[in-house]
Amino acid sequence: MPGFSHPGAPEVRLGALAAGGLAPAIMAIVERGVTRRPDQARALGIEVELRMEESYPPVRIVFEADLVLVEDGPGRSPALQISGALPDLVALLVTPLVGGVPSPMNARGRAALGMLASRRVRIQGGLGLLRSFLGVIRL
């Protein structure tokens, strides 16, 4: 499938799609972040899997130097797995950050911190990887 690219930024490409999958919507969030922070995206070099509690298929995001692949389906060997209810995952993905973590000075940031503390959103992988990932895709 064709992807999107901007001068100096890695290409963001939509991969495999599944019925009812969310990869196109997640790709829009990822593409915006990659466009705004191409050097961080290029340096990330990890596979991320987003798992929704609802019946949506997981979304796999692979960051490579010149390509970011977003597709429906499980990760092959994700360094970072983020799981929770879809609204909670989206809230985490778009929350304002300070130092790579949700900002406690913003209501959305405090809500995201609460979701992490209460384990409504669960993280497998290092906190540093989460901070780097959120740092790339932040709005």
Q: What band does 1 get if pLDDT is binned at 50, 70 and 90? A: very low
Model pLDDT for residues 12-24, shown as the tens digit of each residue: 999 999 999 999 9
**What does the radius of gyration of the chain's CA atoms come to, in whole angstroms?**
14
Nearest partner of 115 among 138, 83, 137, 139, judged by Cα: 83
Residue ranges and CATH numbers for the domains of the chain are: 3-137 (3.30.1050.10)
Cα–Cα distance measured from residue 119 to residue 106, given in angstroms and rounded to the nearest whole number: 20
Q: What band does 5 get if pLDDT is binned at 50, 70 and 90? A: low
* pTM as predicted: 0.90
Query: Partners of 67 in the beta sheet?
Result: 11
Q: Tell me, what's the pLDDT at 43?
A: 95
Model pLDDT for residues 35-59, shown as the tens digit of each residue: 999 999 999 999 999 999 999 999 9
Model pLDDT for residues 112-132, shown as the tens digit of each residue: 999 999 999 999 998 899 999
